[in-house]
Structures are given as structure tokens and as C-alpha cells.
DNA sequence: AATGAATGAGGTTTCATTCAT
DNA sequence: CATGAATGAAACCTCATTCAT
């Protein structure tokens, strides 16, 4: 009966906040940010609309928080190591890990994709992600060059297109796209080339 | 004093309908189907909201008509020829033509992409396109097999992922993606392999 | 090829006007004055909306004209004869004729009934009809008195209620109400009493 | 600080819902279902349009609920007793009670009448009411037969027409129709005949 | 921390009416 | 006399957000 400690409250808050965000990702991915209503999210999360506004300032704020937090979670695995140099093994790992992360967060990626397709609406998303993408791009380019590829830039283009396309396809129709076969294939491809 | 002839009316209708659809594609692509309002479309088309409903039964109907008409326009170039067999040259042409069509219809492709990412909302889109995609898939697979590729199925996977990814990237950030370089690269790639 | 004469034009106008009114009565009766749209009427009459406005100033004007004209048509049979005295035979005739007129103009009566149920909307209707009703009421009252009925006023009340109720019922569900049986019954009733 | 209890919310909802329905009956009766606007109802009820939609799914739903609830309220007095046999006294009571109920719910009856005159719009109304009407019709017919009336069927026809007509007249112009005199008269009539 | 009634701006849609032809 | 494209006001409805409790 003793009042909860500050930490307990903090924990409860954090959990409820996560719950709301998880539910929101799902609904946003299914219905679009604009097509989803705050009521739907509150209802599916089992809380009142009022309480949702206790945790997030607005619907847009909720979206921003989702992107912020999910970005962190998703991209943490790819923090480039200190030296900024990518070995062949690290590159293979990067692909494997990347595909795994996507498999585990389909809805987030779906949401992410709908968002990047509306440049005017959301610029938040880009900034973070773009930086990382550039760094990686550079490192992979260097790897390709070191491996004596004829046209490292062109190869980079093909590679990123391949990955991106596979993600889209997988995220859109998970059951129809053989992500595992794709994974072996692309790894086999670069294993030989590098 | 006499009323316009049937042809005159027909012309007016056809032109205005096209105008509305063109404007709508642009706005839908920019803001999402749900994020765009009929008012915005009417305003940008320079007509009253009421008139829009003279031409389309509803916002959803407008979307459907856009998809129907744009699908026709976009996919007509790819009607497989009678024999159902794809030569190496036809395959190269297919890629070239495909990229060109996309360059000329960026907004439609953007819209198409936001739509396929919301499976619950629109099933119209798929049916038409899926058929064609399957036919092509099969023909390309046969070509790869005839060319003695080791794993034609896997190669098809990589190829479609590459194309898809390039489209996404180009459509999303046209200025940043070197579509022409990508085109030469992928053609070069298959020119050697086939 | 000679231009039509003024009379011919006049005839055409009169016919078209009647056509529009007939169609409108039907639709108003079916959908309510408010629920019917000018477009529907024009379409069913096979003319353009614009032309309809050539014949009637407004939707409300169309309604007024319908009521005016139909009232005349409907009530003309009941113009009390000069002397203002109703014989038993005339009374019977009045009932017979009344029922016949209703059978022949179901839709007008339906419309009329929906209108009298909205006192605020239409006052036009009443004025004409009320006068006639009062005159008739008085004459029937006199007839009842001459026939030595105990309570002529009360009998008048019952009679008008009976007629009114039968009309409503018949107009509402023509197939279910045995109007002919009702007719014989009520005539038999007054034949004995008078 | 704590939220209202479930009962409190329940009470608020019930009261407001009743308020809206009461206001709506009045306005529908006065202006027709189609002629009344949701704005008018909200305004007269002193609430926002939005709130009305918190209580009713649509304007049509509001109408249906009114009919449902009012039907219950209105017809509950007439639940035939178990044996299904009507005595002379019960018949007299039925007429008295019926007239009283109508006097107390003029607006509902007005609304009801406008609705039955639009067969295409509302079928809801009929089903409930028709059943009851049939049961009563049968019971009254039996009573008439037991009382050795020459033509019980014809008498039933006259009686229901009389009642119906009186209701219409009273509901349409309450001040002009002497409902009390009608009541005594019709009771006197059947008191002698039965 | 929690509720859901309440608001109001804005969305989609309808329709009487006008007008150039 | 005749057309139907075009308008704009107003209808129905939705939903992010607020607030008393």
C-alpha cells in the first residue's frame, strides 16, 4: 500500500509509452499516417484518448517519437566501427544483419517506406538515416575499389538498388518473396566478386 | 443560341476529366491519397468542388480511374509479343523502355508505390499489374535458362529486386539517383551474362 | 419547313409543362418534396435541367404549380351546385365520385398528405382546399339535420374521419386496402341512416 | 481528479441521448426527415454537430433509434393480454387509451405518418407495428362477430378507417379537431352496437 | 494517471440554380 | 427552345484535441 517510488512510476510510464508506439506503428503501417485515427490507436492500445495525449503532445509528435526510437533501434546494429574501414567479412555481416533486422520489424519498415514517399510531409526521417547511408556508401565503395572491381561506383548503385528492391518486395508481400533465397544469392554473389 | 453539339460536350468532358486526373495524380503522389483533400485538387485544377463530383462519383472513384487509366498508359508498352518468347534484344529493350516510362511518369509511380504499401486500402491496383508481372517473370526466367545461367531463379530474384529498388530510389529522390548510369550499368551487366 | 404558329408553340409548351408536372408528382410522392432532386425529375422527364427552369422558376414553384393544377383537377367534380343544398342522392354521389377520383390520382394524394403533415412548409395547399371542405361540411351537416339524426355534428365528425382514414390507408398501401368493399359499406351505412 | 465512474458516464449518455432524440422528433415532425438538418437538431439541442455523431452513427441511425424507442413507448400500452380475447370493456379501454397516447405523443405520430407515406425510405417502421395491428384486428373482428354484427369484416374496416382518420386530422391540426367529442362519439357508437 | 464527453475545423458530398453556347 | 458544364452554399460526417471530473 505504500506509494510507488519514482522509479516504479517511471517504469510504468515507459512501458505504456512503448505499448502505444508499438500499436501505432502497426496501425500507421496498415492504414497510413493520415488514414489512422488517434481513436483507433487508443482503442487498440486499451487506453483512453485522453491518456494518449498525456504521453504524446499530438498525433504528429507520436509519429516523430516512433521514428526517432525505431530509427535508433534499427540502426544501432550498423554503427560503423571506429576505423571506418569495411572488410569483406564485415560487409557480408552487414547484409545478413540488415536482412534480419528487417524481418523483425516489418511494420516499421512499411511505415518508413510510406513516409519517405512523401517528401513534403516528413523530413525528420531522412536526416538521421541519410547520414548513416552516406557513411556506409563510402565504406562499401572503398571496399569495392580495394577488391579491384572495374566500376565500383556502378556496382554500388546496383547493390543498393538490389537491397532496397528486396526490402520493398519483402515488406509489401512477405509471404510471396523468398527473402532467405535472396539472402543466400546476394551473399554468394559478393563472395565471389570480392 | 443552339446548344453545343454532342462532340463539343464530349471534348469538354474529356479535357476536364484529364485535367482533374493529372492534378490529382500530382497531389496524391505528394500528399498520399488520404492526405490529399478534394478541395486541394479542385483548387489546383481551377474548378469548383462541385464540378469534380460531376466528373467522378467520389474521391475513391477518382483514384480508381487514375489507376485504371495510368495502368493502361504505363503498361501498354510491355504487352508481350505473340510468341511469348523473349530474346536477349527484347529483354534489353524491355529494360530501356521500362526506365524511360518511369522517367516520364514519376508521379504515377510514386502514387502506385504508396498504394501497394497499403494492402487493405487498394486491391484494384494489384490484379492488373500482377498478371503482367507473372507473364514477364516467366519469360525472363526462360531466357536466363536458355542462356545457361547457373541459377536462373536466383538471378531473376536479383534482377527484379534491382529494378524495383532503382525505381523506388529514383522516384523518391529523382535528383539524387543517377538513373542513366544505372541503366547503362544494368544493361552492360546483362549484356555480358546473356 | 414553315415556322410553327404561335398556337403550336403554345401547345408544345403546355404539353411539356404537363409532362414535367406529372413526372414530378410521381417522384415527389415517392421520395418527398425535399428528397427528390431537380435532376431526377428532369432525367425522368427526358429533358435537361436547364429546360425545366425554362418552364418553372424554381423547385418550389414547380411544387406550387402542381398543387394549384392538381387541386383544380381533383376538386372540380365537387363544385357544389348552385342552391347549396345537398340531397341524399347527391351525398351518395359525392362519396362515390370522391373515392373514384382518389383511385385515379393516388400519387397526387400521397403528395398532398405528406404536404399537409408539414404545416410550416406549405400553406398554399390549405387555403384552397379548406374553403371547399368547409362548404361541404356545412352542407352535409344540414343534410344530417334534415334527416333527423340525433347528433349531426358528431356524425359529421365520424364521417369525415372515416373517409379521411380510408383515403390514407388506401393511398399508403393500395393493394392491402379493400377500397371497393369500403365504398359499398359506407354507402350502405348512410343509405340506411338518411 | 479521478475520472467519472461508469455510472456517471452512463447517466450522461442516457440523458443526452434522450435530449437529442426528443429534439429530433420535434424537428423531423415539423420539417420532414429529409427537410431537417443535423445542424438544426444539434443547435436546438444545444450541442455541437460532432457530439451528435458521438451518440448516433448517422442521421438515419438517429431516425431508426427514434422509431425503435418511440414504438416501444407508444405500443406498450396495447400489449394484448394473454388469452387473446377482447371483451367489450377492453375494447372501449383500447380506444380511450389509444386516443390518450396519441394526445401525448403528437410529434411522434406526425413523424410516423410522414414516414409511412414514403414506402421506399423506411421499412423499419412497418414490421413492428404491423404485427400488433394484425393481432388487434383479429381480436376486434372476433368481438364484432360475437356481438352478432351483420358484417363484422365491414365494420372493422369502418372502425379502423374512423380511428385512423381522426388521428390524422388531430395530429395535423390539433386545435381544430375536437378529439374529445370524437372520443365520446365513437365510444357511444360502439357501446350501443356491441 | 485516467476517462470519455464535448468541440470545431475541415473533410466529402449533394443539389438548386445559372449561363455560355 | 434546349443543353449540360459550372458554381457555391449547405448538407452529412470525421477526427485531432481539450477539459471537467
CA distance C174 to B131: 55
- Interface check for B162 against chain A (CB to CB < 8 A): the answer is yes
CA angle B182, B184, B188 (to 5 degrees): 115
CA–centroid distance for A37 within its chain: 23
Predicted confidence (pLDDT) per residue in C24-38, tens digit: 999 998 888 999 999
Q: Is the pLDDT of residue B47 over 70?
A: yes
- Judged by a CB distance cut-off of 8 A, whether residue D30 touches chain C is yes
Map grid coordinates 555481416 to a residue.
Answer: A93
With CA atoms as reference, report the closest residue to A155 among B188, D58, B118, C80. Answer: B188
Comparing A115-119, C134-138, C162-166, D3-7, which segment has the lowest mean pLDDT?
A115-119
A41-53 mean pLDDT: 97
The whole-number pLDDT of residue C1 equals 46
SS3 letters for B147-164?
Answer: CCCCCHHHHHHHHHHHHH
Q: Name the nearest CA neighbour of C125 among C41, C66, C167.
A: C66
Q: Which nucleotide is nearest to D59 (CA to C1')?
A: F12
Whole-number Cα distances in Å, A71 to A68, A127, B113:
5, 11, 22
Are D161 and C172 an interchain contact pair (Cβ–Cβ within 8 Å)? no
Q: Measure D34 CA to E19 C1' (Å).
A: 29
Average pLDDT over residues D173-193: 91
CA distances B51 to B17, B38, B41, C50, D160, Å, are: 10, 11, 11, 16, 51
Asked if B179 and B103 count as a contact pair (C-beta separation under 8 A), the reply is yes
The pLDDT value given to residue D44: 97
B109 pLDDT band, cuts 50/70/90, is confident
Distance CA D88, CA D49 (A): 51
Mean pLDDT of C85-96: 89
Residues 46-85 of B with CB under 7 A from strand F: 47-51, 54
Quote the pLDDT of residue B159: 93
Asked whether D183 and D96 are in contact (CB, 8 A), the reply is yes
Looking at per-residue pLDDT, the higher value among B54 and B107 belongs to B54
What local confidence, expressed as pLDDT, does residue C127 receive?
63
Looking at the complex, does the CB of residue C30 fall below 8 Å from at least one CB of chain D?
Answer: yes
Name the nearest CA neighbour of D138 among D128, D150, D153. Answer: D153
pLDDT at B153: 93
pLDDT of residue D81: 65
Question: Quick check: C121 pLDDT over 70?
Answer: no
* pLDDT for B107 beyond 80: yes
Distance CA D120, CA D112 (A): 14
* Reported confidence tier of residue D3, pLDDT bands at 50, 70, 90: confident
Cell digits of residue A179? 527473402
Which chains does A contact via 3+ CB–CB distances below 8 A?
A: B
More confident residue, B90 or D36: D36
User: Cβ contacts of residue A13 below 8 Å, gap of 6+?
Assistant: A55
To probe the interface with B, which of A33, A137, A162 has the most B CB atoms within 10 Å?
Answer: A162
Q: Residue A1 has what pLDDT?
A: 46
- What is residue B39's predicted lDDT score, i.e. its pLDDT? 98
**Mean pLDDT computed over every residue of chain A:** 86
Question: How distant is the Cα of C135 from the closest Cα of chain D, in angstroms?
Answer: 16
Interface A-B, measured as beta-carbon pairs within 8 A, has a size of 127
Taking the C-alpha atoms of D134, D140, D143 and D148 in order, what is their torsion angle to the nearest 10 degrees?
Answer: -110
Q: What chain C residue is nearest to D181 in terms of C-alpha separation?
A: C154
Determine whether D72 is exposed, middle or buried from the number of CB atoms within 10 Å of its CB (0-12, 13-18, 19+). exposed
Statement: residue D120 has pLDDT above 60? no
Q: Please give the Cα distance from D41 to D24 (Å, whole number).
A: 6
B115 with B171: CB under 8 angstroms?
Answer: no
pLDDT at residue number C7: 80
pLDDT band at residue B124 under the 50/70/90 scheme: low
For residue A128, the model assigns a pLDDT of 62
What's the confidence (pLDDT) of residue A129? 66
pLDDT in tens, C54-75: 999 999 999 989 988 877 776 7
End-to-end CA distance of chain C: 65
Q: Which of B134-138, C53-57, C100-104 has the highest mean pLDDT?
A: C53-57
How many CA atoms lie within 13 Å of B175's alpha carbon, on the beta-carbon side?
Answer: 1
Distances (CA, A) of B172 to A31, A115, A118, B117, D133: 20, 10, 8, 14, 68
If one compares C76 and C15, the residue with the highest pLDDT of the two is: C15
- For B160-188, the pLDDT digits (tens) are 999 989 998 898 888 889 999 999 999 99
Ramachandran angles phi, psi of B94, nearest 5°: -55, -45
Q: In this predicted structure, what is the pLDDT of residue C50? A: 96
Question: Pick the residue with more confidence: A22 or A111?
Answer: A22
Chain B touched by A113 (CB under 8 Å): yes
Quick check: D40 pLDDT over 90? yes
CA angle centred on B103, ends B102 and B106, rounded to 5°: 70
**Of B102-111, B122-131, C96-105, which range is least confident?**
B122-131
Statement: residue D192 has pLDDT above 80: yes
CB under 8 Å to C57, separation ≥6 — which residues? none
The candidate with the shortest Cα–Cα distance to A154, out of C61, D109, D147, B189, is B189
**pLDDT more than 70, % of chain A:** 89
Q: Answer whether C35 sits within 8 Å of D30, measured CB to CB.
A: no
Q: How far apart are CA A66 and CA C39, in angstroms?
A: 50
Supply the pLDDT for residue D50: 97
C touches which chains (3+ CB pairs under 8 A)? D
Q: Which of A24, A19, A17, A57 is nearest to A38 (CA)?
A: A24
Give the largest Cα separation in chain B, rounded. Answer: 75
Instruction: Provide the shortest C-alpha distance from residue C87 to chain D (in Å).
Output: 23
Instruction: Give pLDDT tens digits for A5-22.
Output: 778 888 889 999 999 999
Residue D9 has pLDDT above 90, yes or no: yes
Is pLDDT above 80 for B18? yes
Residue–nucleotide distance: B136 CA to F2 C1' (Å): 53
Within 7 Å: CB of D3 and strand F?
A: yes
pLDDT at D39 over 90: yes
Model confidence at B122, pLDDT cuts 50, 70, 90, reads low
- Give residue for cell 536466383: B154
Average pLDDT on B1-10 reads 84
Residue A120 above 70 pLDDT?
Answer: no
Give the predicted TM-score (pTM) of the model.
0.87
Span B37-49, mean pLDDT?
97
Q: What is the pLDDT of residue D52?
A: 98
Question: Is the separation of the CB atoms in B159 and A106 below 8 Å?
Answer: no
Q: How far apart, in Å, are the Cα atoms of D186 and each of A86, D74, D79, D97, D193?
A: 103, 21, 22, 13, 11
Query: How does B50-63 read in b/e, with b if 16+ C-beta sit within 10 Å?
Result: eebeebbeebeebb
Cα distance from N-terminal residue to C-terminal residue, chain B? 68
Q: How far apart are CA D111 and CA D102, in angstroms?
A: 12
Residue D50 vs residues A34, A52, D43, D56, D170: alpha-carbon distances, Å: 20, 21, 11, 10, 36
> Look-up: residue for cell 379493400?
C178
Amino acid at each position: 500500500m505504500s506509494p510507488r517510488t519514482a522509479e516504479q512510476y517511471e517504469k510504468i510510464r515507459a512501458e505504456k509509452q512503448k505499448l502505444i508506439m508499438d500499436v501505432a506503428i502497426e496501425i500507421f503501417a496498415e492504414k497510413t499516417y493520415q488514414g489512422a485515427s488517434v481513436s483507433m490507436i487508443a482503442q487498440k492500445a486499451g487506453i483512453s484518448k485522453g491518456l494518449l495525449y498525456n504521453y504524446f503532445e499530438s498525433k504528429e509528435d507520436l509519429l516523430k517519437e516512433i521514428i526517432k526510437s525505431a530509427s535508433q533501434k534499427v540502426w544501432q546494429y550498423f554503427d560503423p566501427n571506429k576505423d571506418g574501414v569495411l572488410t569483406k567479412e564485415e560487409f557480408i555481416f552487414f547484409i545478413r544483419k540488415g536482412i534480419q533486422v528487417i524481418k523483425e520489424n516489418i511494420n516499421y519498415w512499411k511505415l518508413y517506406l510510406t513516409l519517405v514517399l512523401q517528401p513534403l510531409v516528413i523530413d525528420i526521417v531522412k536526416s538521421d538515416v541519410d547520414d548513416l547511408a552516406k557513411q556506409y556508401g563510402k565504406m562499401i565503395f572503398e571496399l569495392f575499389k580495394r577488391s579491384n572491381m572495374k566500376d565500383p561506383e556502378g556496382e554500388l548503385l546496383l547493390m543498393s538498388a538490389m537491397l532496397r528492391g528486396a526490402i520493398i518486395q519483402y515488406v509489401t508481400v512477405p509471404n510471396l518473396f523468398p527473402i532467405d533465397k535472396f539472402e543466400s544469392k546476394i551473399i554468394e554473389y559478393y563472395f565471389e566478386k570480392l
